[in-house]
A and B are shown apart, each in its own frame.
Chain A
Amino acid sequence: MSLTTDAVKKIAHLARLNLNEKELVTFTSQLSNILDFVEQMNKTDTKNVAPLAHPLDINQRLRDDVVTEPDQRAAFQAIAPQVEAGLYLVPKVIETDEVEA
């Protein structure tokens, strides 16, 4: 399957990555080659095969819904890029003008 540069731009956006023009060309060709390669799978008929979620066919273990972790907010925030008053800071997401209006 050959991807177009527009398709790769869209994938990069979904993955929250920027690509410059040169990377766009390289990745378009590399990703197309990889998809061509994985499409070898299509030669095998899997109509009556169930998808395998776990090699030992066991289900995810569940635990009781009780608190097990202590509060480590201070430790976790100590390594954050930007925090204030116990909150993680990011650029403004809400357009204040509209809110005020």
Chain B
Amino acid sequence: MDYKTIAQLKNDLHTKKISSVELTQSFLKRIKQYDKELNSFITVTEEVALKNAAEADVRIAKGTAVALTGIPMAQKDIFCTTGIKTSCGSKILDNFISPYDATSYKQFKDAGTVLLGKTNMDEFAMGSSNETSYYGPVKNPWDLERVPGGSSGGSAAAVAAYLTPAATGTDTGGSIRQPAALSGITGIKPTYGRVSRYGMIAFASSLDQGGVFARSAEDTALLLNVMAGFDEKDSTSINKPVPDYTKTLNDSLEGLRIGLPKEYFDAGLDPEIEKAIQAAIKEYEKMGAKIINIDLPNTGLSIPAYYVIAPAECSSNLARFDGVRYGYRCKDPVDLEDLYKRSRTEGFGSEVKRRIMIGTYALSAGYYDAYYLKAQKARCLIRDDFVEAFKKVDVIMGPTAPSPAFKIGEKSNDPISMYLSDIYTIAVNLAGLPGMSIPAGFVNNLPVGLQLIGNYFEEAKLLTIAHQYQKNTNWHTMMPKGF
């Protein structure tokens, strides 16, 4: 099937070529047809969707439509949605009906979008393959034996198969960019603090950032226009004006300085992916960009530092799941400790337990300096590498992931090999920078993602760089066969 961009769908709605109810029904039908196989949704909100769509049609008829009135989209099941299950991919929240809205979801509601459903994800966003979900793995639409990436794997697969034109995601160590790469779509992780984290279930608070998936940079810009901005309710939200991200999409790239870090083209990189990335860089040179070789010498510290900091913060954040106020409670607890222990033991999956235990250990008496403090110092060196690099270049480019989508089950018994699939994305979270992944070719019929890393708050520049590439190439227009 041919897909349409959000801009095209907006046009169809406003010229009355189609109503929002009809459009919504067509996506609900696609979800019914394909999602048994893909498993990209945890909850399909058909009733809410049709109600949202009917309201959108009234607004369009009255001429009171706003930015995205009538456009269907999906929310990662980490964003709280009033009256709708928000599971975070975990058994411990399988019965959790959120009593309030995440700011991001509220923004998309206020912008007129229609909620198709809540997408599958790695449990508590801990994973790079979407295999740790309580609701089962998500399949990659390009090859059903392979993973779509993670943790926002459901959102990525749903957009790639065009079961929704767009979806939200969250990115703590690559969870938007890596699945965007493995699923062949466009994804953006904004600067830390650019998008509200209120009502977005916390994994590692100093790293988590919400963002979006879509089929093009232009659509991504339309979505980020809705999502970016200051929120009183998030103490880490940064109060800085938000540009109109669609305004600068056609700016010229003449003289753009692209930094290529040698550490991102190391021995761990699949040579076929490297070829695709080099071809993309050539394309940018044709558009007038200059290539500058740079060093990010502390790149090797990223994964070790991340696997101290993220588990430490997760062990603290996930302490709230105790079976007392909401979520899963074990049967017939004999005392309070039994209630805590069995509710958590029965409610969490093994990857979550692993990370909680690593974090508990790293923060425990006598080990704090050796692990957490050391990791925070390493984090400083990683950030400073980027600060130095951005004195010389406007954007950093490289592969998003070291290999294309791997097979379901291939890495699930080896945590460290799974962790290494985020080798090129994790440093960006540690430094708090914005990053994108855009489709840049195929290796054995599997999509390759080009990563763009920008300086703080330069999402507009990243989107321009991505859009200009998409004007000159058609990788982002490819649809997986059978969908």
Contacts and interface: CB of A to CB of B under 8 A. Distances in A.
Interface in B332-390: 333-342, 344-345, 348, 350, 353-354, 356-358, 360-361, 364, 371, 373-381, 383
Contact of A60 (B235, B341, B364): B235
Contacts of B307: 34, 37-38
A17 B433 CA distance: 35
Given A11-B364, A79-B97, A88 B345 contact: no
Interface string A30-63: 1101110111111010100111111110101101
Interface core residue of B99, B236, B373 (most chain A CB under 10 Å): B99
B477 to A, nearest CB: 35
A76 B324 CA distance: 12
B378 A46 contact: yes
A66 interface: no
Interface residues of A, number: 50
Nearest to B378: A41
Interface stretch (B133-141, B142-150, B297-305, B404-412): B297-305
Interface in A4-46: 8, 11-12, 14-19, 23, 27, 30-31, 33-35, 37-42, 44, 46
B339 A72 contact: no
B357 A81 contact: no
Interface in B289-345: 298, 300-301, 303-305, 307-308, 315, 322-327, 329, 333-342, 344-345
A41 B301 contact: yes
Per CB-CB distance, the 5 closest pairs between chain A and chain B, nearest first, are: A55-B432, A51-B376, A81-B329, A46-B377, A52-B380
Contacts of A58: 238
B430 interface: yes
A16 B235 contact: no
Contact of A38 (B304, B345, B381): B304
Given A55-B192, A90-B336, A76 B99 contact: yes
B456 A56 contact: yes
A55 B383 contact: yes
Nearest to B345: A18
B315 A15 contact: yes
Given A16-B340, A23-B350, A91-B334, 19 more contacts: A11-B361, A17-B348, A31-B357, A38-B304, A40-B301, A41-B374, A44-B298, A44-B301, A46-B377, A51-B377, A53-B376, A55-B383, A56-B238, A56-B432, A75-B99, A79-B95, A80-B325, A90-B324, A91-B339
A27 B415 CA distance: 11
A3 B361 CA distance: 10
25 contacts: A11-B360, A15-B315, A15-B357, A15-B360, A16-B340, A27-B354, A31-B357, A33-B416, A34-B354, A37-B303, A40-B304, A41-B301, A41-B304, A41-B374, A44-B301, A44-B378, A44-B381, A46-B378, A51-B376, A52-B376, A61-B235, A61-B236, A76-B326, A88-B325, A91-B339
B340 A79 contact: no
| B interface residue count range (under 10 / 10 to 19 / 20 to 34 / 35 or more) | 35 or more
B73 interface: no
B210 to A, nearest CB: 16
A24 to B, nearest CB: 11
A14 B364 contact: yes
B79 to A, nearest CB: 17
A44 B350 CA distance: 31
B377 A56 contact: no
A58 B26 CA distance: 46
Nearest to B234: A61
Contacts of B325: 76, 80, 88
Interface in B77-102: 95-97, 99-100
A93 interface: yes
A52 B377 contact: yes
A80 B378 CA distance: 41
A78 interface: yes
Nearest to B379: A52
A35 B375 CA distance: 12
B344 A35 contact: no
A62 to B, nearest CB: 8
Contacts of A18: 341-342, 345
B2 interface: no
B206 interface: yes
B358 A16 contact: no
B126 interface: no
Given A34-B415, A49-B380, A52-B380, A8 B96 contact: no
A46 B382 CA distance: 12
Interface in B231-288: 232, 235-238
Contacts of B21: none
Contacts of B348: 17
B193 interface: yes
Nearest to B374: A41
